[in-house]
Structure 1
């Protein structure tokens, strides 16, 4: 990273915790962000090194008709076979980390938000000056993902079980953002948190 990279603030939250909505609230305040989920999609786009290796391992079943990755098929494989998840993470995590670093180095806001569902699990918290954990009940997470992804409860619970628990994430973070209200309440909470972060990074 260059010396011009702004302070990095991690935003950690499991699947269905509302990371995208919260990120938009920060973006509306002029805070630039890098989303690890977006980067994860970027490193497996058609003709990428990662996708070629995934294809070599799993064959045609892993591709959509347009040659892009069938994420649902891949998810089924890795959540039923832990050794395959380990293999996939060893392939993609270094590429994701490199791309995140590259994108963060180009940001110019007073601080940059690194939005990451596996911030602590991938040790990306090490590059963050502060970490904000999203506090959301598991039941709300499950319902959000079921309605968003048109999936079933068992599949969602499997994904949640591979991530840090809500309480563990909160325990490791510097700041906590509760996400149980409506968008107006969230905008107000994010504005307050934004002011707090600006004070903390200027100390």
Structure 2
């Protein structure tokens, strides 16, 4: 059982996510805005946080920055939004967000994202050195490090080594190329599975990959 914080200003979404996660045996705390989320994080350690981007008081990306600056980003954070842009995704991932869930959130996507987040958190915790444990232990690695330390280290990750000091169009193309290369590597070059994962029709996917200059042969299994 994991301790999870859900931060969203929409009552219906909070109730839905809470119900699903409780049914899975998790303990769930709820916050309807950034201020409540600050209070909850200040008083509890969470295994995972589901964080809405657009909230009335402070947006989720700004809150993510606050936690990172204060050394409180010690757990995987999954961002949620119905209309997040590539620029927002790049910024949040650079700060330390693990992944995104697009609204409306299906139960299947929610449970898969939560499972991945918790497994990466557990992997990071188990990798703590005996010396650190002997000295009284250390705080879990920030979410960005959790991603880097996961079993998928060998795959290209969109947030690693991403040069933001470029014109917007070039930065967007770079992000999209890294995104598709990541999924191609993870799916062994299967265009069918990549199309399903990314939500694109195969013809559109092929056209997009050619446009970005993605090497389709490099990631195919022999």
Higher relative contact order (CA 8 A, sep 6+): 1
- TM-score band w.r.t. shorter chain: under 0.3
> TM-score of the superposition, structure 1-length normalised?
0.27
More helix by share: 1
